[in-house]
Each structure stands twice: as structure tokens, then as C-alpha cells.
């Protein structure tokens, strides 16, 4: 993350007060794996955004944010912030997300993974003693989808490489919690910012990646819908063998220059933001 937060970078930590919330159901915030398992209260993306707003306005007593940058689910939440709290933020930058409800292939892979968990006998209504096999298999789908096609073509030239990839993926899945994933995936059911796009008052700079299979560029969603956003801009950065599809979000050295463009658009002093050093 040095590409974003180091001195002279777009979100220079010496210059900005940075807030990194753990959303409900994720990170160190309350989540099913804390003990309630399948008895954990259901939550949606609207709940996540409302709790973020309470954190900022009530706990931190900040009435107006300069900017919000969110990636993936956080990008979807950024779209929601722009609509739900139009006077609370100067600009939002949703990264690898689309301003439409979860549908098509995005819905399909989610449903495959949640079904793999729900219908696995080892799940036992959420009271499993070990990671259910359905989750381990379902994560293989998720992990393949979250990477880029050119990148996978580059790193998996043969069957042995594929076996190593699957073995690594299984270790990652075993370290996760099926209930947490189930709740997280199902919480996106109330996400649909499209009807309110024209009402957004704040600046919106959307960034997607051309090799992101979660939000496929072939759908041309940003090209079609961003003209509805009064102060909207967008960039679709081409993918390559050296990018990582949806996971490019975890490599900001590949896209930090766009954050610099966003911050300058908000009226900040210009920074020289090339590819990260």
C-alpha cells in the first residue's frame, strides 16, 4: 500500500486523516464466526453503509468526509454512500465495482458458492466442526473468478501448475470461515444503486479493470450508466499478464495514478503521481 500512502503519494498519510473501517461481518468487526454462527443477525449492504456513517458522524464526530475510496464490496458501498448521504462526502472513488444490482454471472457464482455451503451435509446448519467440503470446493470457483484470465494463462502453463494453484486455494479456504462467507455473499441482495444514479450530487470517479471477471467490461455498464451521474468520470484500465483481474485492487502500484487524478479533481494540490516507485 506504499503506492497510496507513502510521502508524496496520492493518499499521503502525513497529509490526510485516514479511516479504515472493518465492516460488520468482516475483519475484526462482529461476524458469525465470533460464536453465533448461523444465529448471527442477517445484515445487508445498506446496514454496512449506515454503520459506517454512524462510525464517522457519531463515534468520530466528523460531519463531512473529503473522499471515500472503496474496493470491491467497498466500492459498492461507495456508490451507496453517494446516494444515501449526498452531503456527507466531497467525492467517492468506487474501484472494481459496478452501479447495478448483483445479477448475471456475478449472481450465478455467488449462488453456486452459497449453495455449495448450504447443501453440504457437513455444514450442519452452520454448526460445522471443520470447514465443510462444499465451501472448500466453492472457493475454488471464487478464486478462479477473482483472478485475471491473462494472468492465469501466464502462471498455469500445465497440469502441475494447476494442481499447485488448487492446493494453495484449498489452504486459503481452510483459513476462512464458511458462515462468514455465506453471510457476506448473501448481504449483497439489497444492493442496487442504478435507480438513483441521476440524483448523486458528489463527484464520482469509477475505476474498473479490463480483466476483472466479476465486473466484466464486455457488459459496458460504466459506458452506459456513467453519463447519468451529473459529476461522474470513469476509467477502465486494460488488463495484462502482469495484472490480476479483480485482485488488481490489492496491487495499487498498478493503478495509484488514477487515485492521484481523483484527488486532483477534488481540488487538492497537484501531485506527481506516476506508476509507483
Q: Domains of the chain, with CATH numbers? A: 2-19+60-100+194-265 (3.40.50.1820), 105-187 (1.10.1740.110)
pTM above 0.75, yes or no: yes
Low-confidence ranges of the chain (pLDDT < 50): 270-277
Other CB atoms within a 10 A radius of the CB of residue 134 amount to: 21
Residues with Cβ < 8 Å from 203, sequence gap 6 or more?
Answer: 90, 91, 92, 231, 232, 233, 265, 266
CA–CA distance, 117 with 96 (Å, rounded to integer) = 26
Helix 104-118 to helix 178-186 angle (10° resolution) is: 140
> Do residues 215 and 245 make contact, with C-beta atoms less than 8 angstroms apart?
no
Give the angle subtended at the CA of 27 by the CAs of 34 and 56, to the nearest 5°: 110
By C-alpha distance, which of 233, 245, 225 is closest to 100?
A: 225
200-254 pLDDT, tens digit per residue, is 999 999 999 999 988 999 999 999 999 999 999 999 999 988 999 999 999 999 9
| pLDDT reported for residue 276 | 36
pLDDT at 269: 53
Name the helix (H) or strand (E) containing 92: strand 91-95
d(CA 192, CA 95): 16
Amino acid at each position: 500500500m506504499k503506492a497510496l500512502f507513502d510521502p508524496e503519494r496520492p493518499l499521503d498519510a502525513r497529509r490526510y486523516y485516514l479511516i479504515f473501517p472493518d465492516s460488520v461481518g468482516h475483519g475484526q468487526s462482529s461476524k458469525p464466526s465470533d460464536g453465533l454462527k448461523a444465529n448471527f443477525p442477517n445484515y445487508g449492504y445498506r446496514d454496512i453503509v449506515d454503520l459506517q456513517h454512524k462510525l464517522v458522524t457519531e463515534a468520530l464526530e466528523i460531519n463531512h468526509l473529503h473522499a471515500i475510496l472503496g474496493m470491491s464490496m467497498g466500492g459498492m458501498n461507495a456508490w451507496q454512500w453517494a446516494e444515501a448521504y449526498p452531503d456527507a462526502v466531497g467525492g467517492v472513488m468506487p474501484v472494481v465495482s459496478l452501479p447495478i444490482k448483483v445479477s448475471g454471472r456475478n449472481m450465478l457464482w455467488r449462488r453456486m458458492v452459497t449453495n455449495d455451503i448450504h447443501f453440504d451435509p457437513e455444514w450442519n446448519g452452520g454448526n460445522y466442526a471443520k470447514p465443510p467440503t462444499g465451501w472448500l470446493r466453492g472457493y475454488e470457483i471464487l478464486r478462479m473468478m477473482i483472478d485475471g484470465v491473462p494472468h492465469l494463462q501466464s502462471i498455469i502453463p500445465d497440469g502441475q501448475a494447476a494442481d499447485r494453484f488448487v492446493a494453495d486455494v484449498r489452504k486459503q479456504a481452510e483459513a476462512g470461515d464458511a458462515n462468514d462467507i455465506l453471510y457476506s455473499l448473501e448481504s449483497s441482495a439489497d444492493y442496487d444503486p442504478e435507480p438513483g444514479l441521476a440524483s448523486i450530487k458528489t463527484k464520482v470517479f469509477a475505476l474498473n479493470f479490463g480483466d476483472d471477471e466479476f465486473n466484466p467490461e464486455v457488459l459496458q455498464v460504466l459506458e452506459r450508466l456513467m453519463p447519468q451521474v451529473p459529476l461522474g468520470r470513469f476509467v477502465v484500465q486494460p488488463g495484462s499478464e502482469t495484472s490480476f483481474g479483480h485482485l488488481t485492487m490489492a496491487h495499487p502500484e498498478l493503478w495509484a495514478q488514477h487515485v492521484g487524478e481523483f484527488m486532483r479533481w477534488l481540488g487538492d494540490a497537484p501531485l506527481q503521481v506516476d506508476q509507483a516507485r
